[in-house]
A and B are shown apart, each in its own frame.
Chain A
Amino acid sequence: MDIHRQVKYEEELDKTFLEEIKVLSGAEDLDRCIQCGTCSSSCPMSIYMDSPPRKIIAQVKNGFKEEALRSFTIWLCSSCYTCQVRCPAKIEITEVMYALKRKAIEEKVYPQKFPIPVLDKEMTNLIKNYGRNSELWLILRLYLKSRNPIGLLKMAPLGLKLMKTGRMSLKREAIKERKQLKDLLKFLKEAT
């Protein structure tokens, strides 16, 4: 049996994490959280989360960087904004979740084959290159990248129904001014 220390010593906490997430998310009132739990009890995804939103906010506030960034919670957040509109301290919790996702990707601590970040990445790539999303292409790339051929097979009956009702297109969608979009992203990158 492996015995691990279950608490952290203060010097192990990341003192800069709170400020960093405040800037990344724009949630300047983050440290005004009173730990009331309204967010967790409002969150429709909390039944699946390893740490409900209240705990994530506490982790960010107190420098538990690893715990917050490695949590599944941030990927399960569907950005429904329920917590955010109900928070008595007016903390932009949804924006904090977004900021944590971006930070986890930047630090490469996100679950690499977990389908949610894979979907986000693949969709972003489609948009960067073509300006539009093509549903079928996105789904195919999602299952390819998350190495889940069985999942794809399971989707077949749904695919058939969508075919039958004319709701699945094989066409790759694209905008005309792809160059303008690429320029825009390039100029922005240069400026940051």
Chain B
Amino acid sequence: MRDYVYYPGCSLKGNSKHYEESILPVFKELGFPLEELEDWNCCGATAYFSIDDLMATAICGRNLSLAEKRQRNIMAPCAGCYLTLKKANKVLRENSEKARKINQALEKAGCPYHGGIEVKHPLEVLIEDIGLDLIKDKVRYKLKGLKVACYYGCQLVRPFTDFDDPDYPTSLDQLMETIGAQPVPYSAKTRCCGGSLTGTIEEVGKRLNFILLKEAKRRGADVIVTLCPLCQFNLEIFQDKMAKDYGEDVTMPILYFSQLMGLAFGLAKEDLGFNRSIIDLKPLWPKLTNGGIV
């Protein structure tokens, strides 16, 4: 079963519309148009698991059931949703008392799950199912000279994935090279952005993201490329305060890999959500449009 149904999660319908706006046309261009999972519910994120483990797994089970009914695997672009759904999928397939209880409740509520689908992140789908060769064929404008720091964050690579390294993954770097950009060595690539802590304890969120930005600057990156809405948001929102609070200007645009892929594929930049950047992209545009025709 290699067909996917798209699970947006709350962020891609909320503050990360530009992730959705870029990922849909990119997959369409690659010949894999995405359909949204009908009536999906929130994955519960880290919040629900902090309150009630059983319930949190059950609501994920409903999403898995909806996809299974349509005989499709789930593709979740938010790394948080990805981890949460994947974790639930693992638990529900186990031969345990917990799994039995939840599966029975799912069945009774009219959304039974039989353990028949996989959960994947678009990066995984791009690398493993679609393949870099096909992507290369689609590139019309190489993003030559654009230095990118590839930021994976935590939830995609830990602890349930085996498609890349949990500490120093390289799949996003390969993808960026394929579209002509130049990844810089970025040792902070899987250091946590703080997740929802930016919304609760500002000092923690600000400091963690300062560390990430500072390292990207030091490595000479023009932009940080992300694959998770929470990372993207967290890296952006405190930049204006950092110069004042920490005495160092680390201003840098934070873009989704799908936005850069769209540009390289020659899709209109107006249709890729660049207008939603909080950071001014003007200084970056000459670099983004530098590339020659392949």
Could you list which residues of chain A lie within 8 angstroms of chain B, going by C-beta atoms?
24, 44-45, 48, 76, 78-82, 84-85, 94, 98-99, 101-102, 105, 115-121, 123-124, 126-127, 131-135, 139, 142, 154, 158, 161-162, 165-169, 173, 175-177, 180-181, 183-185, 187-188, 191-192
Contact = CB atoms under 8 A, between A and B. Distances in A.
A132 B154 contact: no
A161 B50 CA distance: 31
A129 to B, nearest CB: 11
In the A-B complex, list the 9 residue pairs whose CB atoms are closest, starting with the nearest: A80-B192, A81-B158, A80-B154, A115-B200, A184-B109, A123-B47, A131-B41, A188-B105, A187-B105
A123 B10 CA distance: 12
Contact of B58 (A45, A48, A134, A184): A184
Contacts, number: 177
A10 to B, nearest CB: 31
B115 interface: no
B139 interface: no
Interface residues of B, number: 59
A187 B50 contact: no
Contacts of B167: 85
Given A85-B158, A132-B10, A142-B200, A191 B42 contact: no
B53 A76 contact: no
Among B53, B200, B237, max chain A CB count under 10 A is at B200
Given A127-B41, A169-B14, A188-B105, A78 B159 contact: no
A80 B14 contact: no
Given A119-B47, A142-B200, A188 B102 contact: yes
A76 B204 contact: yes
Nearest to A118: B200
B45 to A, nearest CB: 7
Given A173-B13, A184-B111, 4 more contacts: A82-B154, A119-B199, A124-B44, A124-B51
A168 B108 CA distance: 37
A79 B194 CA distance: 9
A127 B59 contact: yes
Nearest to A168: B15
Nearest to A133: B10
A30 B159 CA distance: 17
A177 B195 contact: no
A135 B208 CA distance: 22
B15 A192 contact: no
